[in-house]
Structure 1
Amino acid sequence: MQRFVSLSLFWVFATLSILVGCSSKPVRHLASDAALVEPGKSTRQDVLRYLGKPDRRRSISPGVEEYVYYNEKKGFLAGLPLVGGMVDPESYEMILVTLDGDTVTDSDFLIHKEDDKDWAADQDGDELP
């Protein structure tokens, strides 16, 4: 009987571990979300509906605000248990939305990759054809 209880507890624990390992947080798709925001047409309410609460807000001038949405893109190793938290992001995505009052006046989508800095190490530059 004791062996049956131990074996049952093992399977319950194993099943729960697998289910917890498969759970994930929602994924943000900033590139497609950025296409929903149209300068001159979209309002503050549209931006909040499409993109949610901004990661940062800053005041540019009286009545003009900038919303910043930020997302780190991590590689395969980031999804692994234990070591995933130690992996640096491979790239960053950002949406900058400028609001004048309640109307969107500008929207920019930016991508920064870590290897974009490689050009700085190449002092000779690329040869042109």
Structure 2
Amino acid sequence: MPFFCRYCLIFLATVLLLGGCYNKPVRNLASDVLLIKVGQSTGDDVLTYLGEPDEQKVIDKGGEQWLFREKTSTVMERTPVVGKYLGSPGIVEVIVTLKDNVVVDSRYEAHDADENDWTDDFSWQKGEK
């Protein structure tokens, strides 16, 4: 039996140590947006720095807007069961405007996910009296 336990412990240690080698790429919009230079960066540069956009919209001939969105939350907000009562997750958005594949504008916005919940607070908005 000790022989079997020894191999089980070696197997578990190997699995745990190899689990630490797993690396998921993380997109950090707050810092990556600083790499984009208006008038100099191209669409390929934006894809390199920020990755694939979450939404794309054609605004006029030769012009596009790319939206990059990222949800953020603190460690306390990710706590199981009580985390939803400890704050509101944030949303970070970067809107990049391209004209002929060159960046002409980039905007960074950050706000709480429930920032616009107040719009549903009043009965007169629902047509009730």
Find the aligned partners of 1:79 and 1:13 in 2 and give their Cα distance.
27
Asked whether 1:57 is paired with 2:56, we answer: yes
Find the aligned partners of 1:12 and 1:43 in 2 and give their Cα distance.
49
The change in CA–CA distance for 1:25 and 1:37 in structure 2 (over 3 A counts) is same
Match of 1:114 in 2: 113
Alignment-mate amino acid for residue 4 of structure 1? F
Task: Give the 5 Å matches for 1:85-104.
Answer: 90-104=89-103
Task: Give the 5 Å matches for 1:1-129.
Answer: 2-17=1-16, 19-20=18-19, 23-76=22-75, 90-114=89-113, 116-117=115-116
Gaps of 5+ in 1: 124-129
The change in CA–CA distance for 1:105 and 1:73 in structure 2 (over 3 A counts) is same
Gaps of 5+ in 2: 123-129
Alpha-carbon offset, residue 56 of structure 1: 2.2
Alpha-carbon offset, residue 20 of structure 1: 2.5
State the SS of the aligned residue for 2:35. Answer: coil
Find the aligned partners of 2:21 and 2:117 in 1 and give their Cα distance.
35
Taking only the aligned residue pairs, the percentage that are identical comes to: 34
Could you list the per-position Cα deviations for residues 6-32 of structure 1 after superposition, in whole angstroms to 9, with x for gaps in the alignment? 242134225514653674522222111
Alpha-carbon offset, residue 40 of structure 1: 2.1
Find the aligned partners of 2:16 and 2:92 in 1 and give their Cα distance.
32
Find the aligned partners of 2:32 and 2:58 in 1 and give their Cα distance.
23
Find the aligned partners of 1:20 and 1:76 in 2 and give their Cα distance.
21
State the SS of the aligned residue for 1:35. Answer: helix
Aligned CA-pair RMSD: 3.4
Find the aligned partners of 1:26 and 1:41 in 2 and give their Cα distance.
26
Taking structure 2 as the reference length, what is the TM-score of the superposition?
Answer: 0.68
